[in-house]
Amino acid sequence: MFEIMYQDDGVGLAAPQVGVNLRLMVFNESGVKGQGQEIVLVNPKIISTNDKKDEFEEGCLSFPEIYANIIRPTRVKIKAQDLEGKKFQLGLTGFPARIFQHEYDHLEGKLFHDRMSGDTLGEVKDQLVALEEEFILNNPGVEVRRI
């Protein structure tokens, strides 16, 4: 998963994004192989977030070249397991907290456009519809949930 993430210039990736039905995510805030810390979380769960939130432009490997401001808590405390099943807790702040929440949304069946304000969604809707249409053309017979 890290290789796919790095190839697409990403900083995080959730297993469902690559067709794997597991509650697993990887991230590295540097987005560069060999730099930063590679984090793997299995069965992550949010324990708490803080009340302070900030707005920041996000993109998503599932929606290439679409970027939008998303509001998220600046701190998150989580529990998870590593690849060997060992349980641990982790506190994340700033950009790593944002990456985690974005990938966690994928595990919960949410996409980043689900977090956009109405105005922001309106600004990127044409791009999203174009991606849907391209997907439908390339995948006949697949049912698509319309935005």
| Annotation says 108 is catalytic | no
Q: Which of 136, 50, 47 is nearest to 89 (CA)?
A: 47
Alpha-carbon span 98 to 33, nearest angstrom: 20
The CB-based long-range contact list for 23-29 (8 Å cut-off, 24+ gap) reads: 23/107, 25/100, 25/103, 25/104, 25/106, 25/107, 26/1, 26/2, 27/96, 27/99, 27/100, 27/103, 28/2, 29/95, 29/96, 29/99
Q: Which of 58, 103, 133, 143 is catalytic?
A: 103
Phi-psi category of residue 64: left, alpha or beta, with phi > 0 → left and psi -120 to 50 → alpha: beta
Any idea which residues carry the catalytic annotation?
A: 103
